[in-house]
């Protein structure tokens, strides 16, 4: 847990200035009836359903002390699931995300934004999970700790794109990546998630050197995974062409996301992380639409 605790603390500090975030249930409304028409499934709601034994992943605030006093066991009061929904996260784990031209890598910035947003969601009663982790979305302090630990684990899956795996319909997906994969591969994965009516929030993490290309003179460039290298005698001679191509690729990713009605935002690692978090908060809470 030596990795998880510092990341969790940073995420808490970053999210402390924002009110608890409640995900708008617009996507869920088409499939379920809210209010008195609950679903016979435990979750966030107002209608009592059942008592069950306390589990280690449950928050201590969920314990029903009155019921627990009648027995030698701790009990949790469950309510019918009415509006809360699972929010999945995917953080690009490819080698290129370790690149940094300044003090922080793209991977570290993506981790911080993801953990801060997960903290806000859990405080708002939502359930979160890392996509592909094998864990179902959960809403507890233990869930946040596991979430942060998984993000900070250097042995985690080193894949740029999420797997083509099942995901709950009408869910939410927060996808943080540098999106340097080939555009056809990115579009194919976008299309996969639309099969499940998922709404995604695309966060394009950019290192300033990748966008500005400040290199001059004789420069050797090496791929992050060590598979390619190239030496240019005058790096500045390709600067203009590179910058145009980089912007075109980013624009194509944004266009592909918006084609599906998804949200796209770019974030440079030399900008405060609060800027990205505020943008996500505004979009996911519906503040921009209101």
The closest alpha carbon to 21, from 147, 163, 122, 149, belongs to: 122
Task: Give the Cα separation of 94 and 102 in Å (integer).
Answer: 19
* Range scoring the smallest mean pLDDT among 102-106, 141-145, 201-205, 243-247: 141-145
pLDDT for the residue numbered 175: 97
CA angle, 97 as apex, 95 and 103 as ends, to 5°? 125
Query: Across 104-118, 151-165, 183-197, which has the greatest mean pLDDT?
Result: 183-197
Confidence band for 289, pLDDT divided at 50, 70 and 90: very low
Q: What is the mean pLDDT of residues 156-175?
A: 87
What residues does each domain of the chain span? 4-23+84-285, 37-81
Task: Give the Cα separation of 273 and 103 in Å (integer).
Answer: 13
pLDDT for the residue numbered 17: 55
User: Does residue 11 or residue 63 have the better pLDDT?
Assistant: 63
Confidence band for 32, pLDDT divided at 50, 70 and 90: very low
Is the per-residue pLDDT at 268 higher than 50? Answer: yes
Confidence band for 286, pLDDT divided at 50, 70 and 90: low
Pairing between β-strand 199-206 and β-strand 263-268 as defined by DSSP bridges: parallel
Task: Give the Cα separation of 277 and 12 in Å (integer).
Answer: 12
Show the tokens assigned to 173: 């997906």
Confidence band for 105, pLDDT divided at 50, 70 and 90: very high
- The superfamily in CATH containing domain 4-23+84-285 is von Willebrand factor, type A domain (3.40.50.410)
Is the per-residue pLDDT at 258 higher than 60? Answer: yes
């Amino acid at each position: 847990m030596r990795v998880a605790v510092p990341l969790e603390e940073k995420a808490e500090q970053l999210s402390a200035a924002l009110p608890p975030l409640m995900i708008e249930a617009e996507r869920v409304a088409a499939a379920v009836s809210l209010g008195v028409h609950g679903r016979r499934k435990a979750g966030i709601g107002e209608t009592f359903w059942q008592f069950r034994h306390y589990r280690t992943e449950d928050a201590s605030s969920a314990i029903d002390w009155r019921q627990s006093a009648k027995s030698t066991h701790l009990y949790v009061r469950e309510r019918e699931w009415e509006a809360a929904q699972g929010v999945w996260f995917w953080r690009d784990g490819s080698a290129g995300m370790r690149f940094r031209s300044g003090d922080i890598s793209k991977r570290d910035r993506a981790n911080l934004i993801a953990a801060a947003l997960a903290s806000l969601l859990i405080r708002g009663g939502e359930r979160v999970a890392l996509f592909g982790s094998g864990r179902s979305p959960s809403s507890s302090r233990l869930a946040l700790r596991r979430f942060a630990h998984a993000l900070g684990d250097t042995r985690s899956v080193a894949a740029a794109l999420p797997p083509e795996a099942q995901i709950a319909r009408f869910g939410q997906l927060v996808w943080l990546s540098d999106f340097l994969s080939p555009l056809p591969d990115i579009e194919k994965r976008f299309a996969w998630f639309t099969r499940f009516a998922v709404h995604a929030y695309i966060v394009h993490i950019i290192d300033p050197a990748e966008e500005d290309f400040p290199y001059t003179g004789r420069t050797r460039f090496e791929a992050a995974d060590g598979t390619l290298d190239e030496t240019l005698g005058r790096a500045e001679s390709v600067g203009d062409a590179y910058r145009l191509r980089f912007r075109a690729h980013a624009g194509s990713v944004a266009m592909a996301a918006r084609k599906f009605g998804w949200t796209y935002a770019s974030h440079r690692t030399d900008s405060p992380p609060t800027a990205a978090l505020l943008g996500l908060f505004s979009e996911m809470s519906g503040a921009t639409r209101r």
